[in-house]
Amino acid sequence: MDEVEIKKRVDEVFVEAFEIEPARLTSEMRIFEDLGIDSLDIVDLVVALQKKFKIQIRDDERVRKIRTLGDIYNFILTLKNETHFSEA
């Protein structure tokens, strides 16, 4: 899974779970201020990313530092490099 595929799958989560138009999904978008995600949505964002990438991130401290969509892409990429998670 390369960076392009990771971005595609993360974007799918925002479209499917939060009904955000694909055109707005760019790296610099701040997830709270720009995309309108709130504290409850964060819980569901974590669940959706776990499901999409078959990973466990709920208790990963790095989740708390995420601010932008680009942070999510990079976080998932880092996880991939660390763990070589499933291509499924």
Partner 1 sequence: MKRVVITGRGVVSPFGSNLTSLMDGLEKSKSAVLRMPGWEEYKGLNSLVGAPAELKGENAFPRKIRRSMGRLSVFAALAAKQAAEESKIEEGLLKSRRLGCIMGSTMGSAEAMNEAFEIMLPNHDLSQLSSMGFFKCVSHTAAMNVAQALGVRGYVMATSAACASSLQALGLGYELIRSGRQDVLLCGGAEELHPIVTGIFEILFATSTHFNDNAWLTPRPFDARRDGLVCGEGAGVLVLEDYEHARQRGADIYGEIAGYSTCASGTHLSESSREGMRACMDNAIQDSGLKPEQVDYISAHATATIQGDQAEAEAIRDIFGDRVPVSGMKGYIGHTLGASGAIELAASLEMMSRGIIYPTLNLEDVDASCSGIAHVQTPLEKEIKVVVKNSFAFGGINTVLVCKKLDAY
| Catalytic machinery residues | 38
85 lies in the site for partner 1, by CB under 8 A: no
Question: What is the Cα–Cα distance from 34 to 28, expressed in whole angstroms?
Answer: 9
Tokens 């390369």 identify what position? 2
Cβ closer to partner 1: 3 or 56?
56
Rounded to a whole number of angstroms, the minimum distance from the CB of residue 12 to partner 1 is 16
What are the backbone angles phi and psi of residue 84, rounded to the nearest 5°? 55, 50
Question: What is the Cα–Cα distance from 14 to 30, expressed in whole angstroms?
Answer: 13
88 lies in the site for partner 1, by CB under 8 A: no
Q: Which of 23, 40, 82, 84 binds partner 1 (CB under 8 A)?
A: 40
Residues that bind partner 1 (CB under 8 A): 18-19, 36, 38, 40-44, 47, 50-51, 56, 58
